[in-house]
Amino acid sequence: MEKSIENIWKEGFLKSDALVAPKINNLYSQKSIHIIDKFKRMFKINLIAIVAFSFAFLIVSFLVGIPITGILFFITLSVLVFINKKLLNDLEKIDFGISSYQYLKAFNEWMNKQVSINKKISKFLYPIIFIAMILGFWFKDAEGMPLGERLVNEILVGFPDTYLIFGIPLIGIFIVLLIIALLVHFGGRIYKWDVNMVYGRVFKKLEELMTDIESLRS
């Protein structure tokens, strides 16, 4: 007589080798392959790297004479680290012991929140970094006068008809504003593109799982 799946299941596990637990060796020292732990690890490493970089750059910026760039970098990156540290704390709160729906929902919400916040930050981050670079080099000392002023003087020698606004060539202001506008416009997209490259499949899979469970809830 054909066996039911229930019987196959019950009888299958009567065999002694079907339920032998794998050996556990130095479990805690092994790296986790779970996505949440992976995110936590990546986040922590990223945040530490950003803090280290912003400190190092601050010192270097003073040494090479572009302290404005260093200070603006430091402030901007500190805000970025602070916000992402708060996001990391939220991730730590996700409890594995809740129901699968709540767990996936919590994780999905965290992922969406994290992407959304960092996408918004990217719209400001890239332009601020660009402005910081421009200001730093503009006010960098070049033989007793700011580098920017020296540059303008040299431009005026070659192009005496250059139209200036507050001592800055209009064409220069236009180019800087255009780059800032492009960075604001594409900053969020660059971040989203980057995240999708790495975690696109995870987002898709989470969505599928959520849809499947939600169909059972309705």
Partner 1 sequence: MSSDFYKTSILPFAGIIIKLCRAYTNSQEDFEDYYQEVCLQIWRSKDNFREESQWSTWVYRISLNVCLTLLKKKKNNVQHFVSDAITAEETEDNFAFSEESLNVLYDAIRKLSEIDRAVIMLYLEEKSQKEIAEIIGTNPNNIGVRVKRIKIRLKKILDGEIN
Task: List phi, psi (to 5°) of 116.
Answer: -60, -45
Instruction: Pick the closer one to partner 1 by CB: 89 or 100.
Output: 100
Pick one of 100, 143, 161, 163: the residue that binds partner 1 (CB under 8 A).
Answer: 100
The site map against partner 1 for 4-43 (x = CB under 8 A) is -xx-xx-xxx-x-xxxxxx-x--xx-x-xxxxx-x-----
Under a CB-based contact definition with an 8 Å cutoff, are residues 80 and 50 in contact? yes
Nearest to 77 by CA among 50, 42, 57: 50
User: CB 206 → partner 1: shortest distance, Å?
Assistant: 8
Task: Say whether residue 167 binds partner 1 (CB under 8 A).
Answer: no
Conformation bin of residue 10: beta by default, left when phi > 0, alpha when psi is -120 to 50: alpha
Task: Say whether residue 218 binds partner 1 (CB under 8 A).
Answer: yes
Bridge partners, residue 164, by sequence: 169
122 burial type by CB count under 10 A (0-12 exposed, 13-18 middle, 19+ buried): buried
What residues line the site for partner 1 (CB under 8 A)? 3, 5-6, 8-9, 11-13, 15, 17-22, 24, 27-28, 30, 32-36, 38, 95-104, 107, 198, 201-202, 205-206, 208-209, 212-213, 216-218
